[in-house]
Every structure is written in structure tokens, then in C-alpha cells.
Chain A
Amino acid sequence: MWKWTKIIGNVNQRIFKANYSESKAKTIKACIVGSGPAGFYSAQYILKHLPNSHVDIIEKLPVPFGLVRFGVAPDHPEVKNVINTFTKTAEHPNFRFIGNVSVGTDITLQELRNCYDIVLLAYGANIDAKLNIPGEDKRNVLSAREFVGWYNGQPNLDKLNPDLSGESAVLLGQGNVAVDVARILLSTIDDLRKTDITEHALEALSKSRVKKVYLVGRRGPLQAAFTIKELREMLKLPNVDTNWRSSDFVNVKEQVESLPRPRKRITELMIKSLEENKSNEGNKNFLPIFYRSPLQINGESNVESVDLTITKVVDNKAIPTEDVENIPAQLVCRSIGYKSVCIDDAINFDDKRGMIKNTNGRVLQKDANTPDIGLYVAGWLGTGPTGVILTTMNNAFAVSQTIIDDVHSGAIKCDSTKPGLDPKKYNVVTWSDWEKIDKREIENGKKSNKPREKRLSIEEMMKIVKS
């Protein structure tokens, strides 16, 4: 019996909700620019907590998910499980995916704002920060973003052709992205074969002669940027020995006890590995080195070595000394962070930091320090390019809550009848079009026992859509 009362209770609740929202406001039209985690988590939150909302995600590429598809390493398929949640959101009746439309190129921000009550910018950070040192333009000096895009099938990067015939690779930067690159360079080819890594990358890596991968950081072990999970994975990599410099760890052990738990655990793991100092005949080497800052890159046309300034750390900052160390390298990859671009002149963009000026996700007006109500920013574009999907999710939820607060307070006027974007005006890829691409990629992967074989160019993707 009580089962039925529960059902009735639920129905009542729904009706109540519907009445409540109708009396409060008409349909609210929200548009999110970018379909990465920030875009999808925001869509999820807004659709759930603003029952009278309609949410469109506009995405530049014909395929969704941003860095979950083009950033997250192919050997980390579990991380990509978030796609299942995003797909649930996409199936919501009040949601539309409008792919293959680039904001700033195909449509201006103002045009978009004319169509929607709320515009949330979540187009991420898709260029890389430069070192600005001599020799950075030599052949085989790449950015991690390019290298990652190459193995992950980012359109236009399949022709990158990194030269993997040298023995030594130097990665400048010690974040998780650099560790991803190191792991891909050092993994056995059979382990990579089972992933959705691109065929051209697999082919090139199977012939790779890279044996030593340096991971260079400007500061010390206590400031290491990689996280413990990523480090532990490196320490367990088959046929790879991780070797540290004991000189980098002077006085480190003494400080371990006073560190907060996460820092303590990762430092202990580094010390344990240092003390093991494995060296197995024939193994490749993963070589994290600290207190070194890139000074210049040497070589004729191809890179041959890297000069590193020796640093010391004072108050958590790296201070250069007069001393320099030279490390031979035939491949150099800089991995010192991503940056966002300004896609439309109307945006209040902080060129220096490469992100949009905002407080709590409310975009600030160009000439005043007050929020431009109705315009918001979430994800890497608003926080800067740091943090994992969890961080991005929390930010997306928080910004979405801000939006909802602004709707409830009446700051956002939702009494208009904004039309939403008319997809007919563009060569749009819809969610069911993406499902066609998805299906085809998975089918093509089956031939080689891979979870999927990604399409590499926008033309190829569009061909499937049109088929």
C-alpha cells in the first residue's frame, strides 16, 4: 500500500514543481559554449535545478567532450567513464547539442546573447604556453599539447610526425600532462595497442628508440606538480626503472613528518623509490630531475641538447643560480601549461593570464568591474588551466548555482521569449549525428581489438554524418 502513496507523493511533487516554476518564470533559454566537462556538468546542474530551463551546448568540433576525448590519456579509459553521465544529460528532452559551430567565427557572442537569456562560456584552454627561450623553434621541440593531440586524434595533428629515433627525450614541466607524455613514450607497445590511441601514433611508437625520458622541474621534490596516482603508475610501469638524483633529496626526509597528508604520502613514495634505485639491464629509464629551469635549446636544425639553469628554492619560488647543466636530447616537449584564447572582442579577456575576467563565474564588464549579468564562465576558461575533472566539475556546479541564484533573484530577466539558436542556419552536427560517428568509430576499433578508432579529420567526421 505504502508503495502507492509514495508514487502519488512523487506525482504531487512533480505537479507542484511544474506550477511553481510556471508561476515564477517562462522557459529559460541557456546556451553553453564548449562541450568539455565544464559544459556538460553545467548543463546537468542547470537542467536539474532549473526545471523550466532549456540548455543548448554549442561546440566547435563535430564531436563532444573536449579534453576528455582529446586530452585524457588513451591508457586511462576509466577516467573517460564521465562520458556516460554526459550522455545521460544529452538525452534530456530539454537539451540540444549543436556541434560544428564555432563561436567567434560562425556566430558572434552578441548574436548568441540575442538568442539566449543566459550564455555560459566554457570553451576551455586550447593553446599552449611558450617558454620564450632561444632554440624553442628547432625541429622536434614540441608542445605537450601537440604531442597529446597527436596520439589522441585531435584534428590536424596527425601530421605532427615527432621524430622518435633518438635515445633521450626531455620533458620540460612536471605536471600530470608531462607524466602522461612520459608514460606513453615508455609504455610497452602491446599495452598501448589495447587502447584507443591513434594508429599513426601506435605505428611511430612501435619504432621508437626513446630509452630515457627526463622530467624536468624548476623547483624541488616538495613542490612536485605531478600527483601521487600518476607517480605510482610510473613506478609500476613494466620494463621501466625510475631513477632520481639523491642530490635533489638533501634534507627532504627530515621534513616529511611535518607535511600535510597528501604531500607527505607523495614525498614518502619518491623517497622509497629513490632508495630502491632500480637498475635492470635493458630497461628504459624515467628520470625526474628537480631544481632545473630551461635556459636554451641547442642543435643545428634538429634539437641536440637542452641547457638548464640550476635553481634553488626560496619561499617556494625557484631562484636561478649562475650554474648551468647540459642534457643531451633528440626530442624536447614543453609542458608548462595551457592558455585560453579570446574568441570574441566583446569578451573581457585577461591576456596575461590567458583567461576570462570573472568573479565566481560572473563575467566582468569590459570597462567596469561589475558583472555583465547573463554572461558566465566555467571550467579552465574561468579558473585557469589547472585541476582535474573533479575540480572542473565542482567549479561548473558552483557557477551553475550562481546562475540559478541570479535567476531566482530576478537579476536575469527571463520574461523574454528568446528564440534559441536556429540550427538550420548552420551545418550543424546534432547529438544523433554524433552517435553515428561514435558508432562508426567503435565498429572500426573492433577490427584491431581497440575500444575505438577515432576519425582524424573534420571532413571524415562530416562524411559519416552525411552518409
Chain B
Amino acid sequence: MIRLINSRVVTNLAKQFVNNTSLQSRRKGLDIRTLCTSLPKLQKEEVEVTFVRASGERIKAKGKVGDTLLDVVVNNNIDLDGFGACEGTLTCSTCHLIFSKPDFDKLPEKPSDEELDMLDLAYDLTDTSRLGCQITLSKDLNGLEVKVPATVNDARS
């Protein structure tokens, strides 16, 4: 299993769970999903997010208020090939996600010019597309559902 380890997220985790061995285990390559589920009581303001693959498969994940959707993918070790290649620095658009219209309108921050510039390069761009690394979770977003575009299929066409 190859995992994309987001160094920024690793540091965040390090700050939070200094005394927890989970980080060490994670470095050794243990399944982070298992480790994360042992920690929910520490995390007060949880937000549930569902990622829906192009195949229709639904992946439920939990994040905290203040996390970006990229953090959620990385922290939950969600298996999306190539997601978050530039590690949230707005230079890749691999974190492209598609929102429902109501959710899209509800997002507190509108996309910056720079985000829109990167989105313009994304496959399957829609009017309700955003870059996951630019969306910060708030309590309001609990239960959010986002679609993950099918990159591999696109490249074949």
C-alpha cells in the first residue's frame, strides 16, 4: 500500500497527540484508519463527510472543525489515487471535488482567483466544483456529501 503522507498533516497530528503512540505506528505503516477510530473521544467538534466515488461507492469519514477536506482524506487514509499531489499548495487540482448546489452555495468562503485558476485545469469541471484543499470544515458542514471525479477514466478517453 502506498500512502500519500501529507507532511503538514503529520505535523498537525504530532502536535495533537504528542503522547499518543499512534503517530509512531503510523510512520511504521500501520493502518491509520484503525488508529484514528480509537481517538474520537478526544475530538470534540467532529464533522462527518461522505466521499462518493464515480463508481457510486460511498466512503464515510470524519474530520474536525478547521480541517480541510484534503486533511480529511489524508487523516482517514481514504484511498484516492493521486489525490492532493501538491499537498494543499494550490498548484495541482488533484483535490477536485464536486458539491451539490445547496452545499456549494452554503460554503462560507467563495473560491479565490487562484483556486479558480487551478480548477480551470481540472478534469470534469462543473459549476459546483471546488478544490478540497481550500475547503475548511465548519460545524454547518456536518453530513456533507462530495463527489470525487473519475480521473483514470477521463485519461483514457
**Chain A residues with a Cβ under 8 A of chain B:** 2-3, 6-7, 10, 41, 44-45, 47-48, 76, 78-79, 81-82, 84-85, 88-89, 92, 227-229, 232, 261-262, 265-266, 360, 388-391, 393-395, 397-398, 401
Q: Flag if A84 contacts B34 (CB, 8 Å).
A: no
Q: Which of B2-10, B98-106, B134-142 contacts A (4 or more CB under 8 A)?
A: B2-10
Q: Flag if A47 contacts B2 (CB, 8 Å).
A: yes
Bound-state CA distance A227–B92 (Å) is 13
Q: Flag if B121 contacts A3 (CB, 8 Å).
A: no
- Chain A residues closer than 8 Å to B92, beta-carbon distance: 79, 82, 389-390
20 A-B residue pairs with Cβ-Cβ distance under 8 Å, sorted by A, are: A7-B31, A7-B34, A41-B82, A48-B1, A48-B81, A78-B86, A78-B89, A78-B91, A79-B91, A81-B86, A81-B89, A84-B5, A88-B4, A228-B117, A229-B91, A232-B113, A265-B116, A389-B85, A389-B92, A393-B82
| A-B residue pairs, 7 tightest by C-beta | A394-B155, A78-B89, A262-B120, A398-B155, A229-B117, A81-B87, A228-B117
Extra pairs beyond A81-B89, A261-B120, A394-B82 (7, CB < 8 Å): A3-B34, A7-B31, A81-B86, A229-B114, A262-B120, A262-B121, A397-B81
Q: Choose one: B38, B125, B155; the contact of A397 (CB below 8 Å).
A: B155
Q: Flag if B82 contacts A76 (CB, 8 Å).
A: no
- Chain B residues closer than 8 Å to A401, beta-carbon distance: 152
Bound-state CA distance A284–B21 (Å) is 55
Query: Given A82-B86, A261-B120, A394 and B114 touching (CB < 8 A)?
Result: no
Q: Flag if B152 contacts A397 (CB, 8 Å).
A: yes
Q: Choose one: A84, A92, A390; the contact of B93 (CB below 8 Å).
A: A390
- Chain B residues closer than 8 Å to A232, beta-carbon distance: 113-114, 117
Q: Flag if A393 contacts B85 (CB, 8 Å).
A: yes
| Count of chain B residues with a beta carbon within 8 Å of a chain A beta carbon | 36
Q: Flag if A229 contacts B118 (CB, 8 Å).
A: yes
Which DSSP category, helix, strand, loop or mixed, fits chain B's interface? loop
Q: Choose one: B5, B93, B113, B156; the contact of A398 (CB below 8 Å).
A: B156
Q: How far is the CB of A45 from chain B (nearest CB, A)?
A: 6
Q: Flag if B86 contacts A79 (CB, 8 Å).
A: yes
Q: How far is the CB of B30 from chain A (nearest CB, A)?
A: 9
Q: Flag if B89 contacts A92 (CB, 8 Å).
A: no
Q: Choose one: A45, A84, A390, A391; the contact of B81 (CB below 8 Å).
A: A45
Bound-state CA distance A391–B1 (Å) is 23
Q: How far is the CB of A419 from chain B (nearest CB, A)?
A: 25
Q: Flag if A6 contacts B34 (CB, 8 Å).
A: yes
Query: Given A81-B89, A85-B85, A394 and B5 touching (CB < 8 A)?
Result: no
Closest chain B residue to A51, Cβ basis:
B1
- Chain A residues closer than 8 Å to B117, beta-carbon distance: 227-229, 232, 265
Q: Choose one: B37, B89, B90, B120; the contact of A265 (CB below 8 Å).
A: B120
Q: How far is the CB of B68 from chain A (nearest CB, A)?
A: 15
Q: How far is the CB of A76 from chain B (nearest CB, A)?
A: 7
Q: Does B151 make an interface contact (CB < 8 A)? A: yes
Residue interface mask B29-42, A partner, CB < 8 A = 1 = 00101100110000
Q: Choose one: A44, A45, A82, A394; the contact of B123 (CB below 8 Å).
A: A394
Bound-state CA distance A391–B116 (Å) is 18
Q: Does B76 make an interface contact (CB < 8 A)? A: no
Q: Flag if A390 contacts B85 (CB, 8 Å).
A: yes
Closest chain B residue to A227, Cβ basis:
B121
Q: Does B75 make an interface contact (CB < 8 A)? A: no
Query: Given A3-B37, A84-B5, A388 and B120 touching (CB < 8 A)?
Result: no
- Chain A residues closer than 8 Å to B33, beta-carbon distance: 6, 10
Bound-state CA distance A122–B103 (Å) is 41
Bound-state CA distance A281–B132 (Å) is 42
Considering only residues 47-86 of chain B, those with a C-beta below 8 Å from chain A are 81-82, 85-86
Bound-state CA distance A81–B94 (Å) is 13
Bound-state CA distance A47–B156 (Å) is 20
Q: Flag if B89 contacts A88 (CB, 8 Å).
A: no
Q: Choose one: B31, B38, B85; the contact of A81 (CB below 8 Å).
A: B85
The residue among B85, B90, B93 with the most chain A CB atoms within 10 A of its own CB is B85
Closest chain B residue to A388, Cβ basis:
B121
Q: Does B154 make an interface contact (CB < 8 A)? A: yes
Q: How far is the CB of B141 from chain A (nearest CB, A)?
A: 25
Closest chain A residue to B6, Cβ basis:
A84
Bound-state CA distance A414–B5 (Å) is 32
Q: How far is the CB of B51 from chain A (nearest CB, A)?
A: 18
Q: Flag if A48 contacts B2 (CB, 8 Å).
A: yes
- Chain B residues closer than 8 Å to A393, beta-carbon distance: 82, 85, 94, 151
